[in-house]
Copies of this chain bind each other. A is one copy, B any other.
Amino acid sequence: MDTANATKAAIGPIRRETLQHSAVAELRAMILAGELPPGSRVPEMQLCEQLGVSRTPLREALRILASENLVELRPHRGAVVTPIDPNEIAAIFEVMEALESLAAGLACRKGTEAEFAELDALHDQLVAHFQTGNRLAYSTVNRRVHAVIVGMARNPALETTYAGFAAQILRARSLANYDADRWQESLTEHEGFMTALRRRDAAAAGALLAEHSRQTAKAVLRALRGNGAGSGSGDAASGAA
């Protein structure tokens, strides 16, 4: 059957993406880009004509996004883009700290030479973007560095969980441009755990990445709370960062 498919595929790459799948991708992009701001209502019919699909695939897409915590579904009351609750973000960072530490340790033991080389290359880009002052490029490469480290852990469960939390944090960051001083600190911390990674020192790398995560959390949360951009109601928010 490979030959049959190959023949057909060679002639025409049969468009084979379900509408719901592309709807999920598009909506997720919209939300992560801040196009649909946190807390905004998301009427189904409006999105239908916006995306050019009917309600059925759109609703299924919303269910998927709800499972990623990108939207909230209230029965009979519609969907809203999940508001950024500083307490939720603080909680996510608590878990992220553990995940990054785990990832770093596993990466030291399971990463390939090629991956370590890629990490080095990415880190060089990071330094370059810092010196150029290109903030957007820096944070893009920054995310990629962490993603590569997580990937090196050879753990799909970890990877999926990490990606979900990373998306939430990205959303939180986008609405609170955080401290400029933090930039220098961040790079210094990157230098630190990169050194540990180059030595394949699992314990040190884990500890340093955890510390990096903790400092990032502190900065993001300070920006979030200072900004007052969140829509959540504060509670036991103190002890988190």
Contact = CB atoms under 8 A, between A and B. Distances in A.
Contacts of A95: 99, 102, 155, 157-158, 161
Interface string A193-208: 0000000000000000
Contact of A155 (B16, B94, B156): B94
Interface of A is mostly: helix
Nearest to A17: B75
A136 to B, nearest CB: 27
A103 to B, nearest CB: 9
A85 to B, nearest CB: 9
| Interface size class, chain A | 35 or more
Given A75-B16, A110-B236, A158 B60 contact: no
A20 B19 CA distance: 21
Given A99-B95, A101-B98, A110-B236, A156 B88 contact: yes
B236 A154 contact: yes
Interface in A1-55: 16-18, 21
Contacts of A67: 63-64, 67-68
A239 interface: yes
Contacts of A106: 94
Nearest to A24: B63
